[in-house]
Structure 1
């Protein structure tokens, strides 16, 4: 099979310890992403090339745009409404607040404007994580016994969700009903258990193909509807964590990276680890709806 290849370029030298959760906020023209371990929320405006960050009081893994303005921060022990203009944060709901072992991890808004979000052990404790759906303000648990839940994304028609428990190397496909709730059990979609690198964050494009970060491999791969690799982006750093489409035409793929666990020698070999990278594509992303809380 012919595999298309691209080379990612440095976009913002954010030097995150654990960059994660890139999310395009179309109404403000900003891409937001998090340094989970550094407790920072970063932003970048592709149109103006401006960028900056906010300091946070907890580990946050996603800033989801809300349909009535502002952001919902997915944090290690709470969900918080955040107003970027003023920096005001307002508690919305607890999130595993009674469990000191876990923090939030991957999250993404589905086709119905609901938020899927996951937890994991702060030391990646086996089976400590869970998967939830926040639907119209009510948080419901979908799955438990996960270690590092990742790769949350959704088919263009909303009929399927995708996710992985990273240590398994297996990306799963989960059929959804017309309200976006899971049907039956998830089934295997793509197997990376014998591949260099582990499946991490993912996003869907407008053609129904899934772009998957391979942590440890320095790659983001594009998978077709059959789970076959049909494209590859190479990065100059080994720990890409999650991709997201952004920009007015949704043809720029941004990729967060990390330097988590690096020794000084590794940092010297990968000086851009933790930065935000980008690739210009002739493939458009899939516009994601803002989060509805009511």
Structure 2
């Protein structure tokens, strides 16, 4: 597929039905492409966004999108969902603290906790979700500033964090304890996805050199399980 002129895709995620959602950070869109189709349609648009950067999808189809302002070194989280009347609406979620440049984002396996990486500070925060509010802010882990990018969770609740410039994926528990740092071939990993027949192959996009590498892990990804009706 080809996005409309001027649009630039960043994050890609899939929901239970196989619909592909694409964050268009240049034109402030979330595109949707149904399974089997190739033409993108605007699912949500807001000129109030700095940019939709990364997105994650809850079991009920709700989309959470990180919206960083890189120059201002600040950011927000948007909640995008279809209402009872069928209209898709989005709004900035209220938070108990001022956020930095929100980047990588994912949910816990039970869908009750949202993890958000802030690239400017190198911090990863967790929040409880209450409608359009993010509550119970907790600092999970502080890495060096500007060394984290995309993140994903597995079915055991662990976090996989792309350590851009360091060239590793940090595998950590929800408590913030790092189980291990997985070394990669290149130094600039940006995004992570689980795949393969069992959901235990981790694919990593590399900005340096422009390629994708992969490694195996012992648990399947949360989204991989969700897409197959197992979670």
Do residues 171 (structure 1) and 171 (structure 2) align?
no
Alignment partner, residue 85 of structure 2: none
Alignment partner, residue 55 of structure 1: 2
Q: How does 1:1-294 map to 2 (within 5 A)?
A: 54-57=1-4, 58-68=7-17, 70-76=19-25, 77-83=28-34, 85-95=36-46, 97=47, 102-121=50-69, 124-127=70-73, 129-136=75-82, 137-142=88-93, 146=99, 148-177=101-130, 181-193=132-144, 198-259=147-208, 273-287=209-223, 289=226
Q: Aligned partners of 2:174, 2:136: CA distance in 1, in Å?
A: 19
- Provide Cα deviations, 1:197-236, integer angstroms capped at 9, x if missing partner: 6121111111111111111100001111320110221112
Shift of 1:85: 4.4
- Provide Cα deviations, 1:164-202, integer angstroms capped at 9, x if missing partner: 21111111011224x6x54534221111137xx612111
Shift of 1:103: 2.6
- Could you tell me whether the CA contact under 8 Å between 2:44 and 2:89 is conserved in 1? no
Deviates more, 1:248-257 or 1:145-154: 145-154
Give TM-score, length-normalised by structure 1: 0.65
Distance 1:225 1:94, change over 3 A: closer
Q: Aligned partners of 2:128, 2:150: CA distance in 1, in Å?
A: 19
Distance 1:171 1:236, change over 3 A: same
Runs of 4+ with >6 A deviation: none
Distance 1:148 1:86, change over 3 A: same
Q: Aligned partners of 1:158, 1:82: CA distance in 2, in Å?
A: 24
Max radius of gyration: which structure? 1
Structure 1 gaps of 5+ residues are: 1-53, 260-272
Cα RMSD, aligned residues only? 2.5
User: Higher relative contact order at CA 8 Å, sep ≥6: structure 1 or structure 2?
Assistant: 1
Q: Secondary structure at the match of 1:162?
A: strand
Q: Secondary structure at the match of 1:113?
A: coil
The count of residues paired between Structure 1 and Structure 2 equals 215
Alignment partner, residue 265 of structure 1: none
Distance 1:80 1:283, change over 3 A: closer
